[in-house]
Amino acid sequence: MRNNKTVRNGILIVVSGASGTGKSTVCSRVRELMPELGFSVSCTTRQPRPGEQEGREYYFVSRDEFAARIERGDFIEYAEVFSNCYGTLKSEVLEKIQNGKDVFLDIDIQGALQIQAAAEKDELLKACTEFIFIVPPSLQELEQRLRGRASDSEAQVMQRLEKARHEISFWKKYDYVIENDDLDQAVTDMVNLIRSLHLAVKRMPEDKYDA
């Protein structure tokens, strides 16, 4: 049936996960498989890594510039992660959503919680935002994975595990949880989930199937 009369809004897909759960790998594989997803390029004060390009992975800015952007109200959310600031720009998200494009946000938990709070006061965000959380199959499995990184000391492994335990405790704040036991399965689960999100009646134009 192709009688949709009004353009639907896009979906803002917010993905976070506990440290060490392979979130970045899952997210980049999903983006490869779903090139139609818009990606929001964040601002960060961290230095570019080799191979990263200004405006592709991030907009790399100084701390002063970041502070000025906070002052101007440029961000939907921002947070300090590993001693660097990261922020999602309104300009990267709102217009795309209003034009029916889905936007994929890979951000930390503090940022996701800020978007949830913003959505409480903003009808557009409320209707368009879905929160996905990536978890390891178990803490035991995560510990094994962390120990597999030969570069980390025992103290670092314990520190990372504690951090992950704390992060996992936020899982109920999210709408969906994806367990990354097997990478291919986790990627398939996320692709299927995102496709299913389009089937939600609440997001369809009100006159979509009206005669």
| Interface contacts to ligand 5GP, rule CB under 6 A | 42, 46, 77, 79, 81, 86-88, 106-108, 110-111
Smallest distance from ligand 5GP to CB 76, Å:
9
131 and 173 Cβ atoms separated by less than 8 Å: yes
Smallest distance from ligand 5GP to CB 60, Å:
11
Phi first, then psi, for residue 83 (nearest 5°) are 65, 10
Phi first, then psi, for residue 54 (nearest 5°) are -55, 130
- CA-CA distance, 156 to 162, in Å (whole number)? 10
Smallest distance from ligand 5GP to CB 78, Å:
6
Of 8 and 39, which CB lies nearer to ligand 5GP in the complex structure?
A: 39
Smallest distance from ligand 5GP to CB 112, Å:
7
Smallest distance from ligand 5GP to CB 49, Å:
8
What CA dihedral angle connects 158, 164, 169 and 175, to 10 degrees?
-170
Q: Which helix (H) or strand (E) holds 93?
A: helix 90-98
Of 105 and 128, which CB lies nearer to ligand 5GP in the complex structure?
A: 105
74 and 92 Cβ atoms separated by less than 8 Å: no
Query: 176-179 and 129-135 as β-strands: parallel, antiparallel, unpaired?
Result: parallel
Q: How many CB atoms lie within 10 A of CB 24?
A: 11
Of 28 and 185, which CB lies nearer to ligand 5GP in the complex structure?
A: 28
Of 15 and 157, which CB lies nearer to ligand 5GP in the complex structure?
A: 15
Q: How many CB atoms lie within 10 A of CB 186?
A: 23
Q: Which residue is nearest to ligand 5GP (CB)?
A: 111
Smallest distance from ligand 5GP to CB 66, Å:
11
Of 8 and 31, which CB lies nearer to ligand 5GP in the complex structure?
A: 31
Of 52 and 207, which CB lies nearer to ligand 5GP in the complex structure?
A: 52
